[in-house]
Amino acid sequence: MFLGEAKLTNSEQPSSSSNPRTAAQSEIFYIQNGQFFVLARDSGAGYGQDDSQSLYRQIDVFDIKPATDIKSPVNDAATGAIASKDGVLKAGITPATYCPFLDFNVNSQLGRFGLRNGGPQEPGLLNEKWESIAIAPVDGKDGDDDEWFLISLSDNDFITQDGMLEFIYPSSQPWWILLIAQLVNRFPQ
């Protein structure tokens, strides 16, 4: 059932050009009470790509509770608009709240697990496309302690050379432990 609409401010990825782009959103995950995770990222950078340095790859949070519901026949019409040609929202429209949360490209943290963003096409280089979000309770039961693991994976479009897949990650740790440990260590008790 289509209940409402909200304006979300764009997650603008850093760019060396004078024309920054809105980051691609490859996953949205409902948390609770109008709050969502969004996996926003650039593309074309990482393992298997000509450019290995990603500029923007993170899970952020947005909250639609404070946002104006813009669902209406006028706004949804082909000629409807909620902003001026310059991108300024019309008076009375409040966008959803957007908050950066978990940056995947922090080499000081990635290095603790033998991973990195940028550099040579060698083991430990992060893949280009991250396209999933999942959560699991830390207590392994129902999450009553309100502590959760945040999990994200990359399939990198299953890029192969000569029809073979090569999964590269440090052999000292399973890949999923690396991602979970990064989140847990970011928010120490």
Q: What is the pLDDT of residues 30-43, one digit of tens each?
A: 999 999 999 988 88
In the DSSP assignment, the letter for residue 79 is T
Task: Please determine, for residue 5, whether its predicted confidence score (pLDDT) is greater than 80.
Answer: yes
Top-confidence residue, 129 or 155: 129
pTM of the model: 0.74
Q: Say how far apart CA 73 and CA 168 lie, in whole Å.
A: 51
